[in-house]
């Protein structure tokens, strides 16, 4: 496809075969299996649970699993009705469930209460838009796993499948001014989260028990533990092990401030209206650590899609979420400088590589692809990560 032509893919269209130029990557399907659960089998169980809280007139309807972004916790949309103080209510709600362990989850464990409390506390302490959280249920007998319920928020989300920068998405079709408004508003969310005072006190429940004298050391230790768990099924990934060695050799001299990090600070985890955030979602990776973690993740999450766009012959959105631009906006907005971005973007790429090991293995599990000859072939950001380790990526 000519580089000055906007590529388009309709959902269900086949991707071009790019194995010769993309490090043997396998093009992602137009839809991805996430769960073997039957959402309709959950409806009577969810209704029974709701009736245990509100015996008078509780009911659940319009239940469906969403094909929204994310490859981790499961998301169930439903309409609930009940009587509260003799007044009938009807709410559009969302249930977040830990994935079934047999469905090759991304993370080794899912602390739904931790996510619930993070969303709740952010809503109490800031003007950052988060959904209203209603209930956390710890007892797995109701739906087979703990879960929490929050309000549904209407709006638009930059799609992951197919990626928003591949064409035929509302964000791809937006004007430069609209994209700029969305980018700046998203960066402001990070600045406000990082401005929360006494984060280690307010979010003590996010403290990691991994070894390390600093929040950054504990974060990297936790990432290594995640890798060790992930590769029990796939076998060792030489590239990821090289990357961990690179991180140790390029450790920042100053660990920076400890702030609340959203963790999975991708624009694909935001609901927008008129290019402004109206709901910040997916708090599974929330943590305490340097502010650079969130900024690097937001930038690299876009770069992952940009690298894939280049591999697949699409123009992408190369002028969007550019590292220097995002850093400048963040520093101006927050009043804090950012350091050692090469380290933090490489750490982001390492964590993405672990995600790809798991989602690649999940695709094998669901019969969407064959097992590769080399484990590193599961890593869709393999070539970019190799360039980072060689000091050639951000040139």
Lowest mean pLDDT among 23-37, 91-105, 131-145, 212-226: 23-37
Q: Identify the three-state secondary structure at position 10.
A: coil
Q: Quote the pLDDT of residue 9.
A: 35
Alpha-carbon span 81 to 93, nearest angstrom: 10
126 vs 256: which has the higher pLDDT = 126
Whole-model pTM: value is: 0.89
What residues are annotated to the active site?
Answer: 264
Q: What is the pLDDT of residues 258-275, one digit of tens each?
A: 999 999 999 999 999 999
Place of tokens 């209203």: 132
Alpha-carbon span 105 to 257, nearest angstrom: 32
Q: What is the mean pLDDT of residues 276-300?
A: 97
Alpha-carbon span 238 to 378, nearest angstrom: 12
Q: What is the pLDDT of residues 49-61, one digit of tens each?
A: 999 999 878 999 9
Q: What is the pLDDT of residues 341-363, one digit of tens each?
A: 999 999 999 999 999 999 999 88
**Cα 41 to Cα 76, 105, 148, 150, distances in angstroms:** 12, 21, 18, 20
Domain boundaries, the chain: 39-151, 164-389
Place of tokens 């690179």: 246
Contact 27, 16 (CB under 8 A): yes
With a pLDDT cut of 90, the percent of the chain lying above it is 74
Q: Quote the pLDDT of residue 67.
A: 57
Q: What is the mean pLDDT of residues 234-249?
A: 96
- As a CATH number, domain 39-151 is 3.30.200.20
Q: What is the mean pLDDT of residues 329-338?
A: 98
In terms of Cβ atoms closer than 10 Å to its own Cβ (0-12, 13-18, 19+), residue 275 is buried
Alpha-carbon span 393 to 387, nearest angstrom: 5
State the distance between the two ends of the chain, measured CA to CA, in whole angstroms.
25
Tell me whether domains 39-151 and 164-389 share a fold. no
Q: What is the mean pLDDT of the chain?
A: 88
Alpha-carbon span 90 to 161, nearest angstrom: 31
CATH 2.30.42.10 fits 164-389, yes or no: no
Alpha-carbon span 275 to 180, nearest angstrom: 9
**Cα 343 to Cα 77, 96, 199, 238, distances in angstroms:** 39, 33, 23, 19
Q: What is the pLDDT of residues 85-122, one digit of tens each?
A: 778 899 999 999 988 887 788 888 889 999 999 999 99
158 vs 110: which has the higher pLDDT = 158
Nearest to 315 by CA among 181, 166, 174: 166
Alpha-carbon span 132 to 67, nearest angstrom: 21
Q: Quote the pLDDT of residue 68.
A: 56
């Amino acid at each position: 496809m000519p580089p000055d032509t906007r590529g388009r893919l309709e959902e269900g269209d086949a991707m071009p075969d790019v194995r010769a130029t993309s490090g043997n990557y396998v093009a992602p399907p137009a839809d991805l299996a996430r769960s073997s659960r039957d959402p309709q089998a959950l409806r009577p169980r969810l209704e029974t649970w709701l009736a245990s809280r509100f015996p008078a007139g509780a009911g659940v309807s319009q239940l469906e699993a969403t094909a929204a972004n994310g490859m981790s916790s499961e998301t169930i949309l439903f309409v609930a009705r009940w009587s509260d103080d003799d007044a009938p209510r009807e709410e559009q709600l969302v249930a977040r469930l830990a994935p079934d362990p047999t469905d090759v989850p991304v993370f080794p464990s899912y602390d739904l209460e931790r996510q619930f409390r993070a969303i709740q506390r952010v809503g109490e302490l800031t003007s950052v838009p988060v959904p209203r959280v209603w209930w956390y249920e710890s007892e797995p007998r109701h739906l087979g796993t703990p879960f929490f319920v929050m309000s549904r928020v209407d709006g638009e989300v930059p799609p992951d499948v197919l990626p928003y920068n591949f064409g035929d998405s509302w964000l791809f079709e937006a004007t430069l001014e609209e994209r700029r408004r969305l980018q700046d508003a998203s960066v402001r969310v990070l600045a406000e989260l990082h401005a929360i005072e006494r984060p280690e006190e307010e979010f003590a429940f996010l403290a990691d028990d991994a070894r390390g004298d600093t929040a950054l050391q504990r974060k990297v230790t936790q990432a290594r533990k995640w890798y060790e768990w992930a590769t029990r099924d796939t076998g060792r990934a030489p590239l990821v092990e090289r990357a961990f060695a690179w991180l140790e050799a390029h450790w920042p001299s100053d660990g920076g401030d400890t702030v609340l990090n959203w963790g999975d600070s991708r624009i694909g985890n935001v609901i927008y209206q008129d290019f402004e955030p109206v709901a910040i979602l997916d708090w599974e990776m929330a943590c305490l650590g340097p502010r650079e973690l969130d900024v690097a993740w937001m930038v690299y999450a876009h770069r992952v899609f940009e690298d894939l766009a280049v591999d697949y012959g699409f123009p992408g959105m190369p002028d969007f979420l550019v590292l220097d631009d995002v850093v400048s906006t963040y520093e101006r907005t927050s009043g804090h400088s950012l350091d050692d971005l090469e380290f933090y973007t490489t750490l982001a790429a390492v964590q993405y590589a672990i995600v790809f090991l798991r989602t690649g293995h999940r695709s094998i599990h669901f019969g969407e692809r064959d097992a590769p000859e080399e484990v590193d072939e599961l890593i869709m950001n393999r070539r970019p990560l190799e360039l980072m380790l060689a000091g050639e990526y951000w040139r």
